[in-house]
Chain A
Amino acid sequence: MTKQVKMGILGLLLVIPSFLLLFVTVVIPIAVSFKESLVNKDGGYDLSNYKYLFTDKLMRQNIVFSLEVTVISVVIVLIISYALAAYMRFNKGKLVAWIRNMYMIPIFIPSVIATYGLIQLLGNHGWLSRWVLLLGGGEIPRIIFDMKGIIIANLWFNIPFTTMLLGSALAGVPDSVMESAKDVGAGKLRLFTRFILPLTYKTLLVAVTFVFMGVIGSFTAPFLLGPNAPQMLGVSMEQIFGVFQEKEQASALAFFTFLLCSVMGYFYIRSMVKEEGARS
């Protein structure tokens, strides 16, 4: 055996444990729920549960609603987080230090508690409306128990981590690059589009994937802050599984959610592989 073959075998052996772990905790459950999702009412196998997902008016609304909430949340989270991270990267002073100390706090508050906090804060007779009244304002419009409520909660949960992620990417943009670009006369916009964005693009993609997956499968906030109908997929899945006891339909919905996430995963992995390939 040459050394190369030996090393190859060793490499394979080292990969096996993580592969097996992935196989047992991810691949098998997905395969099982896929199989279960194909079981129809009479015990046979067909696509009736998937047909139900896309023909039932309510389920279709749920899917569209979830995607809407997710896309809007992802966009807003990215804009705010990028702005925050960029601000912290390129500015100095008390305010920056203050933001740097504070922006992580939401991560340490459990989601259920944060959600109840939001209800207390934003409810019709909540803190916010009481302050508005005290300061001479009128009734504020309803913010929770609809899409806005879920999005606000998603911002709260996702901005800290995304800011952290983007912050580390921005920290990796060398000052020398920025300075030399400035020297040859690049404006702020050009600096951003030609240097900063390309250098942080990969992390941005990671952030999109994380926020997308986190939001589309979320349960606590949509359950407590969302409307009764349409529901987010997580809430709907729980209802179908726990209340209506339709295991097969819940499996179909779970598998569909998995597919949505894996589409995101595909783009992410493809860009990673491209990057790796370009490097070697």
Chain B
Amino acid sequence: MLRKKSALTLLTVTTVTAALLAGCGNSNNAENANAGAANNSKANNAAADNAAADNAAANASGNAAPANTTADPVEFSFYFTGSENVKNLWDTLIPMFEKDHANIKVKEVYIPSGTGAQPTYDRILAAKKAGKGSGDIDLYEDGLNNVTQGQKDDLWETLDPAKIANLASIDANTMKDVSNLAVPYRSSAVILAYNSEKVQTPPKTLDELFAWIKANPEKFAYNDPSTGGAGSSFVTTTLYKTLPEDALHNTDPSIEKQWDTGFNTLKDLGKYVYGKGIYPKKNQGTLDLLISGEVDMIPAWSDMALEQIGNGQLPATTKLAQITPGFTGGPTYLMVPKLSEKKDAVNEFLNFVLSPEAQSVVVTAMHGFPGIKLSNMPQDIQDSFKGVAEGFRTFNIGDLGDDINKRWQSDVAAQ
């Protein structure tokens, strides 16, 4: 009896051990593969070339055969991240696209903001390093830092206006900022959201805003810039206040010396902001303070503020105002992984997203700014942007954003 039992135990033990060892071996292999891939970028390039060749072949055949020899529809997966409103936008746009393109299906993968954006990027990178293509991710939406990060890791496909005709409707400078690696399909602006019961005349310039903050201690809050774009925009706008306009497109670290004045202003403002130096976490953190009435004015994303006024989260007395020159805003980008095998379908989708029809949905449903030039939009939408779009500024300062956050953390938060 005992022997039987111990034999059984032994068997279990060996099985478990073997399984664990196998797991070990696998991870080692993967690591070796990683190291190999990292060391030998030539192999990567070769793989990319292969993929490109495959793609070209697919292209050729696609062109040769008439488009309506519909076998199975091509399905590509589209990973995106953001707040609920972003999901709603794609839930509207994708059926519109699929209706006109029966041969393409879009597999929507929504990653709620803050839970998985970084892992998605890491997945694409890991798949590339392991030689597994694009990890089944054919289109990816995220902010500027992922575009620049991917540029360094050589992840994104350079977009070709010959394949995506509507790329021509985007401002050429915006495309230049991202080296044609990503489509800025919508933009949001950072604006001031304020309680109109308490604030009769909102500030019109940054200097007036500073004066207002000092005159109304603890009634202004901006969020920790490393946790959300609204606070980040307030900080960037302050730092670049006295700098020439083209500094906003300068990625050269030598410009950092010129931030000193801005950081001193922010340090000085610390005593006057909410809680004498409390910077809430995330964009929603400051909006919550505005909702509870603890502060009267905050920088916020226009689309978030408009949506929350619309559904009654923010009190109806909340109003929005832009200062001149405006807070830096930023587009959200769509990126195509270089190793994706379904680039033709993706290109067609991107072309649709940049059409005035789809862009109108961005404007009306998202309260966003269109990604394409306003002159390409329907007349009524052009009219609705009169006076608002002028103050809109985008920027591309590459990795400097991280340095701003780091320095803000030690200079302003920890003063």
Contact = CB atoms under 8 A, between A and B. Distances in A.
Judged by DSSP, the binding face of B is helix
Interface string A39-76: 00000000000000000011001000000000000000
A31 B409 CA distance: 30
Given A10-B9, A14-B9, A58-B414, A228 B278 contact: yes
Contacts of A239: 226, 409
Interface in B1-33: 6, 9-10, 13, 16-17, 20-21, 23-24
Nearest to B292: A125
B281 A223 contact: yes
Nearest to A21: B20
Interface string B218-260: 0000001010000000000000000000000000000000000
Interface in A4-43: 10, 13-14, 16-17, 20-21, 24
B405 A17 contact: no
Judged by DSSP, the binding face of A is helix
Interface of A: 10, 13-14, 16-17, 20-21, 24, 57-58, 61, 119, 123-126, 142, 145, 223-224, 227-230, 239, 242-245
Contacts of A125: 292-294
B172 interface: no
A123 B279 contact: no
Given A227-B278, A228-B409, 14 more contacts: A10-B6, A10-B9, A13-B10, A17-B16, A17-B20, A24-B23, A123-B292, A126-B292, A228-B277, A228-B278, A228-B414, A229-B414, A243-B405, A245-B402
Given A123-B292, A125-B294, A228 B224 contact: yes
4 closest A-B pairs by CB: A229-B414, A229-B413, A228-B413, A243-B226
14 contacts: A10-B6, A10-B9, A13-B9, A13-B13, A123-B292, A123-B294, A125-B292, A145-B278, A224-B281, A228-B278, A228-B409, A244-B402, A244-B406, A245-B149
A35 to B, nearest CB: 12
A228 B279 contact: yes
A14 B13 CA distance: 7
Contacts of B39: none
B124 to A, nearest CB: 16
A64 to B, nearest CB: 12
Interface in B248-277: 275, 277
A108 B293 CA distance: 31
Contacts of B414: 57-58, 61, 228-230
Nearest to B12: A17
B2 to A, nearest CB: 10
Contacts of B226: 239, 243
Contacts of A61: 414
A211 B388 CA distance: 53
A243 B402 contact: yes
Interface string B388-415: 0000000000000010011001100110
A145 B280 CA distance: 8
Contact of B17 (A16, A126, A145, A227): A16
A224 B223 CA distance: 12
A24 B21 CA distance: 9
Contacts of A24: 20, 23-24
Contacts of B21: 20
Nearest to B277: A228
A198 B292 CA distance: 50
A195 to B, nearest CB: 43
Contacts of A223: 281
A245 B414 CA distance: 20
A153 to B, nearest CB: 14
Given A10-B6, A223-B281, A239-B226, A229 B409 contact: yes
| Residue in B149, B402, B414 with the greatest tally of chain A CB atoms within 10 Å | B414
Contacts of A224: 281
Contacts of A20: 16-17, 20-21
Nearest to B227: A243
Nearest to A13: B13
A24 B279 CA distance: 40
A227 B406 CA distance: 16
Nearest to B408: A228
Nearest to B405: A243
B17 A17 contact: yes
Nearest to B223: A228
